[in-house]
Structure 1
C-alpha cells in the first residue's frame, strides 16, 4: 500500500489502528477462543460469544479511549509541532509522543506509520487485557478473577504478536515500495 506524501501533513492513527484490528478480529477471536479451551477448559463454542463481545468492547471503546487519552497527552507535552526529523532522537520522539496523530514532513510516513502503530500497541495490550477481563468476568461469573486475569494476559500475547507482525509486514512493504 502506497502512503501518499503530503508536505506538512498529519495522520490520525486511529483509522489505521481500527483498520488493522478489524481486519484481524476473526483470527484474534479464534486464537483467544483456543486459548480459553487450553487455559480454562472451555469448548470453542462456549468461548466464542464472550470472547467476541470482549474484543468488540475493547476495539470499539477501549482503543478509541486510549487513543484520545494519548492524543490529549500529546497536546499537553507540545507534541503537536512538526519537528525536523534530522536526528534519530527526533524521529524516536515523533513516533512515540506523536503516535496517535503523526505530524511529519511527508517523506517519512513509510516507516513512521507502522512504527507508531507498534509503539501504541504496547499500552493497548494492557488496556485490552483489563477491558476484556472485565467483560469476560460478566459472562463467566463462576470463574476465579485471578484466573481470568491470567487467561486474558496469556490469550493476548499471540493476538498482539499477530498485530505486531501485521505492522511489520506493512512497514516492510512500505519500505520496499519506496514509501
Structure 2
C-alpha cells in the first residue's frame, strides 16, 4: 500500500531518467573524449561507457541515500512549509532527496529539487568515473584523466541542468 502523504523519493524519478539518458550521455562524453584524448576510440568508448554505468548505478543511488540522511539530520524529516521564500528554499534544498508531499506545488518543487541534487550527483560522478577510468585507461597519460572527467561531466551535467531549468521555468509561468 502506498500512502499519499509519504512524500516523493526523488530516486524514483531520477534513476529511471538517468538510465534513459545514459546512452546520450555516453555518446556526448565519447565524442568529447575522442577529440580531446590521445586514446584509441574503442578504449574511449569502453572507458566512458563503464564509468558512466558505474556512476549511474552506484553513484546516483549512494549519493541520494546520503542526501536523505543529510535531509533528516538538518530537518528532522519535518515539513518546512511553503509560506515564505526561506521556507520554500528549505523545502526544496534541505529536503531535495525526499520531498514532502505538497501536491499542489510538486510541479515546480520536483525540478527545483532536481537542480539541487544535480550538484552532489555531479561530484559523485566525477569521483567514481575518475576511479574507473584510471583502471580502464591504464597506460594513458594519468594527468589527462582528471581534466577529462571534470570537463566531460561539466558538459553533460550542464545540459541536464539546462533541461531541468527549462522545466522549472515552465512550471513557474
TM-score scaled by length of structure 1: 0.87
Q: Deviations over 1:142-161 (max 9, x none)?
A: 12333100100011122112
Which residue of structure 1 aligns with residue 28 of structure 2? 31
Which residue of structure 2 aligns with residue 113 of structure 1? 110
Q: CA deviation at 1:165?
A: 2.6
Runs of 4+ in 1 over 4 A off after TM superposition: 6-9, 172-176
Q: Deviations over 1:40-96 (max 9, x none)?
A: 123443311221111110000011111111101111122511232000111111111
Which residue of structure 2 aligns with residue 62 of structure 1? 59
SS at 2:39's partner residue? Answer: coil
Equivalent runs, 1:94-173 vs 2, <5 Å: 94-173=91-170
User: 2:11 aligned to 14, 32, 37, which one?
Assistant: 14
User: 2:68 aligned to 60, 71, 89, which one?
Assistant: 71
Structure 1: which 5+ residue stretches go unaligned?
1-5
The question of whether the paired residues in 1 share the 8 Å contact of 2:81 and 2:91 is answered with no
Higher relative contact order (CA 8 A, sep 6+): 1
Count of residues in correspondence between the two structures: 171
Q: Larger deviation: 112-121 or 46-55?
A: 46-55
Q: Deviations over 1:119-157 (max 9, x none)?
A: 110121111111001101111011233310010001112
> What root-mean-square deviation, in Å, do the aligned CA atoms of Structure 1 and Structure 2 show?
1.9
